[in-house]
Amino acid sequence: MRTSMGRAWRGGLAATLKAAAGTMAFCAWVAAGLSPIGPAAAADPVEVKFATISNTSDEYALGVTWSTLLDKTRSGITMEVVAHGGTPKLLRGVVDKDWDIGIIASPHLLYARDGLFMFKGRAEDGKYYDDVRVLLTLESGVAHYLTRAGSGIRTLADLRDKSIAVGTPGGFSGTINLALLAAHGLDPAKGEVKAQYLEYSTAMDELRNGMLDAVYLWGGLPQGAVASAALQSDLAYVGLDPAAMESWRKTFPAAEYYDLVTLTPERISTAYDGHLKPEAPVVSWTTRMQIIVHRDMPDDVAYRLVKTLWENIDEVRQASRELSIMSLDQAVQSASGIIHPGAKRFYVEAGVMKPQS
């Protein structure tokens, strides 16, 4: 009887203790913001929208990979990636909270604050852009200038009395290219060169058909539209005169954010599988892009976003050739805005930034 009663008592006690332990564990899970059915199931995930320029851009590829990583690592964040057009629109969308994340060239934020170029009259009070914060910067492309092989056009200075597509309508590239043409001694206003604003596909078609002498395109190496056209036509790169470029940098606003880049014949030939074979190095320019958010983004969300990205950077690098050069030690290089405090926390932990910077 004692034994039987002892077993029953011990069994009852064990069950009671087990239930109590379960209750305490559940309370601990709840207190920690977790769930007994999985660490990511405690609450609804934070949803963010990343707006990029186009669905063929390297930034779009970055967003898709980033979104996958956020799901894979159970970060508690879900990311929707959408294409919404030019960087001025992406910038205003972040300020107005139409989306959570956008991308803009580093110097463009300075132009916006000063009301210059395409931002003139849009927000005369530069404080409109004070709510912008930066998550990271990245090198994402280079300026490409193309002509038909055998045209004799080697630099922009050779375009006198000729025509060039300087960029897409509404974009900022035309502003830069008109200034670069002037630095090479050509003034479109005086008819010394004919400058047109065209979409990339239309520009490449007109180049192949002989309606244009040269085109400008922005993108990685290889650039998609160039790669496609090179399969059908013999093309050649047009370079910049380094002296003219340096002259331009002395007069153009925020020129310190633009860098000269030299594309070697080997690099170009490899990028285009031998369909483009320059005889000499090609001088061009590049600028870094920065991924931006609103200052109201919670610090922990910004922290988890950059932490997930950089701790899985090897997977990001596989998304495109341009993204393959992303490096944590350059994560905030050439940022023209304030680094979001949540992102800064990660960069301080990673040794990229100093606490007082």
- Reduce the DSSP state of residue 236 to 3 states and report it: strand
What are the angstrom distances between the C-alpha of 192 and each of 82, 147, 258, 321? 40, 18, 26, 38
Residue-wise pLDDT for 318-354, tens only, equals 988 788 989 999 999 999 999 999 999 999 999 999 9
pLDDT in tens, 241-272: 999 998 998 889 998 899 999 999 999 999 99
Reading the block at residue 112, the tokens are 């916006």
pLDDT at 292: 98
Tens of pLDDT, residue by residue over 275-290, are 999 999 999 999 999 9
Per the CB < 8 A criterion, the answer to whether 135 and 345 are in contact is: no
* Residue 30 pLDDT exceeds 50: no
| Gap between the Cα atoms of 1 and 79, Å rounded | 64
pLDDT in tens, 145-203: 999 999 999 999 999 999 999 998 877 889 999 999 999 999 999 999 999 999 888 99
Query: Whose CA is closest to 238, among 147, 150, 307?
Result: 147
pLDDT at 12: 41
pLDDT on residue 122: 58
pLDDT for the residue numbered 168:
85
Please tell me whether residue 77 adopts helix, strand or coil conformation: strand
Tell me what pLDDT residue 249 has.
87
DSSP 340: P
Would you say the C-alpha torsion 150, 155, 157, 161 has a positive or negative sign?
positive
pLDDT at 196: 96
Helix (H, G, I), strand (E, B) or coil at 208: helix
Q: Is the pLDDT of residue 224 over 90?
A: no
**Cα gap 296→310, rounded to integer Å:** 22
The answer to whether residues 247 and 253 touch, using CB atoms and an 8 Å cutoff, is no
Q: Which of 100, 89, 55, 144 is nearest to 296 (CA)?
A: 100
pLDDT for position 15: 43
How far is it, in rounded angstroms, from Cα 280 to Cα 8?
91
C-alpha distance from residue 129 to each of 99, 111, 249 (Å): 15, 10, 25
Q: What pTM does this model have?
A: 0.76
pLDDT in tens, 50-83: 999 888 788 899 999 999 999 999 999 999 999 9
Per-residue pLDDT band at 123 (split at 50, 70, 90): low
> Looking at residue 182, what is its pLDDT?
96
Confidence of residue 6 (pLDDT cuts 50, 70, 90): very low
Look over the chain and give the mean of its residue pLDDT values, rounded to a whole number: 86
pLDDT score of 88:
82
- Mode of pairing for the β-strands spanning 163-167 and 194-197: parallel
Buried b (16+ CB within 10 A) or exposed e, 189-219: eeeebebbebebeebbbbbbeeebbbbbbbb
Distance CA 23, CA 18 (A): 9
Residue where the block lists tokens 């047009």: 238
User: SS3 breakdown of the chain: % helix, strand, coil, rounded to 5?
Assistant: 45, 20, 35
- Reported as half-sphere exposure (CB side, CA atoms, 13 A), residue 198 has a value of 20
pLDDT, residue 86, reads 78
